[in-house]
Amino acid sequence: MQSSKIAGIGYYVPKNIYTNDDLSRFMDTNDAWIQERTGIKERRFADRLEETTTTMGIEASKIALERAGITAQDVDFIVFATLSPDYYFPGCGVLLQREMKMKEIGALDIRNQCSGFVYALSVADQFIKTGMYKNILVVGSEKHSFAMDFNTRSRNVSVIFGDGAGAVVLQPADREGQGILSTHLHSDGADAEILAMYYPGAHANKWMRDQPGYPDQELGGLFMTTEQLESGAALPYMDGPAVFKKAVVKFPEVIKEALEANHLGPQDIDLLVPHQANLRISQYVQQLLGLPDEKVFNNIQKYGNTTAASVPIALCEAWEAGKIKEGDLVCLAAFGSGFTWGSALIRW
């Protein structure tokens, strides 16, 4: 069966830099508090009126296509991962297809949050393996800043996230043993509500019945009230310590699963590129696997958590910095809301 390889890669981050000190102007926080808990020093925020999840994805895609030596007209299929789409529907895949003037190809949107890119890469890999498509554009892009609440009540969430996009072009591998060796995907919805954005959603009304300000009128129950908006019912919710406890278990598990499936061990990894959720999580996983600093790539310090975009942004930065060479064994891993998690093992 034909394996797939990453033929081109690119990333884009907005020019607007917001440091921890900048955020302290809006909420009760400080640089030391944020760095101690997350490792983040700064993040990028998109231009509120000019940049969208789609436009950032396009910028990353242009670079990936150029490096792959193909044009937008050569793309057979699009897989677009994001939790912050431009519209509730349709998804960003068709918007990217329109703006890049591609042929009437298929566009699939992936909603797996932080593990979205790994899921998207796995889906694209299957299409290449079966011979259905030859040039697949895989995009992870996020514009979190438009939905963040920059007040003290939300600081445990809003200090973490940033905006950006990454993209790869997947093609059939040139030789046996090259490219994506395997992907491994998992989910467990038992604790879905400890990291979620409940509204908008059909289930949100059921959850909101116990929240302050919920109206008694039947029709009024279909909409959010001013009281609910002010209470933060429409904002993302995260139980940080609970998420951390799950992540430090599932991250190493799924990495070891990928290695064992290919009869390899942690010592065979040339570079681990984890989803940039929290520097403390990455450091814990690194220690557990016994990997030296030079074998783990982190850039959360500069960009924060860009969820579905974090893995391709980090992968591209590592490649541009010369940390990934032909023949290297690269492991990608991610864990996020759902909960969903996954890994991909790649022979570059």
114 flagged as catalytic: yes
Q: Which of 92, 135, 275, 298 is catalytic?
A: 275
- Whether the CB-CB separation of 265 and 291 falls below 8 Å is answered with no
Q: Which of 92, 114, 316, 331 is catalytic?
A: 114
Q: Which of 20, 278, 305, 316 is catalytic?
A: 305
Q: Token pair of 120, please?
A: 């998207």
d(CA 332, CA 346): 8
Measuring CA to CA, how many Å separate 28 from each of 34, 44, 284?
A: 11, 20, 28
Is residue 224 classed exposed, middle or buried when 0-12, 13-18 and 19+ CB atoms within 10 A define those classes?
A: buried
d(CA 69, CA 65): 6
d(CA 329, CA 316): 15
d(CA 252, CA 85): 30
Residue 205: CB partners within 8 Å, gap ≥ 6? 221, 222
d(CA 13, CA 302): 10
Q: Which of 101, 104, 99 is nearest to 76 (CA)?
A: 104
Is residue 303 classed exposed, middle or buried when 0-12, 13-18 and 19+ CB atoms within 10 A define those classes?
A: buried
Q: Listing from the earlier edge strand, what are the strands of the sheet with 4-12?
A: 4-12, 164-172, 136-142, 77-81, 106-110
Catalytic residues: 114, 275, 305
